[in-house]
Amino acid sequence: MENNKNVFESKPVSYWIDSTKNTYYEPLDSDINVDVAVVGGGMAGITLSYLLKKRGLKVALIEAERIINGASGHTTAKITYQHNLIYDKLIRDFGKEKALQYFKANKYGAGLIEKFIKEMNIECDYLKEPAYVYTQSDNYADKVEDEVKAAKELGIDAKYCKDIPIPIDVKAAVKFENQAQFHPRKYLLALAEKIPGDGSFIFENTRAVDIKEGDVCEVITQNGKKVLASNVVIDTHFPFFDGKGFYFARMYAEKSYAIAVEAEHEFNGGMYINAETPVRSLRSQKCGDEDILIVGGENHKTGQDKHTNTHYENLFNFAKKTFGVKNVLYRWSTQDYVTLDDIPYIGHLTSKFKNIYVATGFKKWGMTNSTASAAIIADMITNGKSEYEDVFNPSRYTPSSTGRLFTVNMSVAKDYIKGKMEPADIVNNESKIKKGEAEIVEKNGKKYGAYRDIDGKLYEVDITCTHMGCELSWNEAEKTWDCPCHGSRFKYNGEVVEGPAFIPLKNYGEGDNNKDANVF
């Protein structure tokens, strides 16, 4: 770790973002009329906008910050319909017909990515690789075998393995042939370039805050400008407009982490993830003339772990033990939303809305699920239906989700109450806050979040989440205040990093001007 100290102390940076150019699309500065408004500039929104424009529709894609800088720029970028151990569960919970829909939709999504890459000659490090789910636990060996049987029942080219091509001893593994990996930003930047023109647009730094429903909807942005459209698609990470769909109660946010390293020992190809926890995800990536190794995992619920650097250290120790590490090149984290039954919500926002759509809850499998969502919603808008829509219907009910609904919302309630009521020990005053660190400050019975930057300036913000009032927790690696209830994240100066919140935290200024504050 000592040789990589600077990487682990510096701000996390995604390899995908660092190795590609920035985008500079203008913000929306006047009201416009289009056929479809797409809110969210990640893989789902960009793919959908491209598909709709190809079908002759005028599209406006709006993004709160810069496109492809969210989850799509912080992924492990596996193009696979092997989504851990899912197909046996799908058959049990949904039946074979809907399990087949899920598989076919994601296989179609993977094929669509390959098709676009070939059609546009996109240089994005696209490489066919097998994908493995492995286990080192006796408790999961039978589950792996059940997954192989379920996959074969659905017609998937799956194989049961007792070993894998990398130096990890396993109890069992399932191998899917003909999966792929790529550089997601190189791919999506090429798609995005095809969207503007002929009445279609991309607008960055344009945050949507509300929708006025109607035959022609109005998407209202934070600066008051509007996009008027016959159809609206919410492709944001978390739906900024709920429409009484109660998405806040039907999803939860998870953080996961990745490091990119130069390994001492050769990596024999393939993509890997284990079935048990802690999660370990592996794949290689071309970086110049060299191959680097991307190691991911360490999932936990957003806002429930202050010491986030520990997760990077755990991934480093795993990589060092398994492959040896010459150098740590990058580290980054991402946030994913998980639905009650692990299947994304794709389709009409609720049964009430016939021209407002949503695509969210991709869990950790956004590359194929987001592409599939674009194809599904494009078909629903232009053809009235999609052959894959039933299994993803946001208004669906499955018996298995009932218990999880209770568990998820009890957890939210616990986090809410804990943040409001749990006492904390007073450490001293704010002068004790070190550079690069944050603490909770109490003044006149009210809590504030105090962070001192590397230059010694102190930033104080109200750490009550502006979404639904939960108390925020500090994230030491990203230097953000994170919400344990619904996953909103804020910079140390109060600016929104990601929603569902769109209102910044109240900022009480910079500088050491609160000498009487207590830190605890």
Interval 380-438: pLDDT, tens: 999 999 999 999 999 987 766 555 544 544 544 444 444 444 544 333 466 667 777 87
Q: Helix axis angle, 96-120 relative to 184-192, nearest 10°? A: 70
Give the Cα separation of 88 and 8 in Å (integer): 39
Residue that is written with structure tokens 């619920």 in the block: 301
Lowest mean pLDDT among 46-55, 77-86, 234-243: 234-243
Give the alpha-carbon dihedral of 24, 25, 27, 29, to 10 degrees: 130
Q: Please, are residues 35 and 230 in contact by the beta-carbon 8 Å criterion?
A: yes
Q: Please, are residues 2 and 199 in contact by the beta-carbon 8 Å criterion?
A: no
Give whole-number Cα distances, 106 to 45, 77, 179, 372, 491, in Å: 16, 14, 11, 6, 35
Give the Cα separation of 308 and 347 in Å (integer): 35
Lowest mean pLDDT among 188-197, 366-375, 377-386, 506-515: 506-515
Band of pLDDT at residue 72, cut at 50, 70 and 90: very high
Give the Cα separation of 209 and 413 in Å (integer): 25
Half-sphere exposure of 334 (CA within 13 A, CB side): 26
Give the Cα separation of 277 and 274 in Å (integer): 8
When the pLDDT of each residue in the chain is averaged and rounded to a whole number, the result is 88
Amino acid at 298: E
Q: What is the largest CA-CA distance in the chain?
A: 68
CB atoms within 10 A of CB 469: 12
Lowest mean pLDDT among 33-47, 467-481, 502-516: 502-516
Give whole-number Cα distances, 18 to 142, 183, 330, 363, 447, in Å: 41, 12, 9, 24, 36
Burial bucket for residue 192 (CB in 10 Å: 0-12, 13-18, 19+): buried
Structure tokens that stand for 218 in this block: 């109005």
Give the residue among 520, 516, 518, 505 at the shortest CA–CA distance from 459. 505
Find the mean pLDDT for residues 471-491.
83
Share of the chain above pLDDT 90, in %: 63
What digits encode the pLDDT tens for the residues 439-458? 788 776 677 888 888 788 88
With residue 445 as reference, give the H or E element that holds it: none
What digits encode the pLDDT tens for the residues 329-370? 999 999 888 898 899 999 999 989 999 999 999 988 989 999
Nearby residues of 176 by Cβ (< 8 Å), 6 or more positions away? 80, 81, 82, 130, 131, 132, 151, 156, 157, 158
Find the mean pLDDT for residues 200-218.
96
Q: Helix axis angle, 87-94 relative to 96-120, nearest 10°? A: 130
Q: Which of 4-8, 204-208, 297-301, 511-515 has the highest mean pLDDT?
A: 204-208
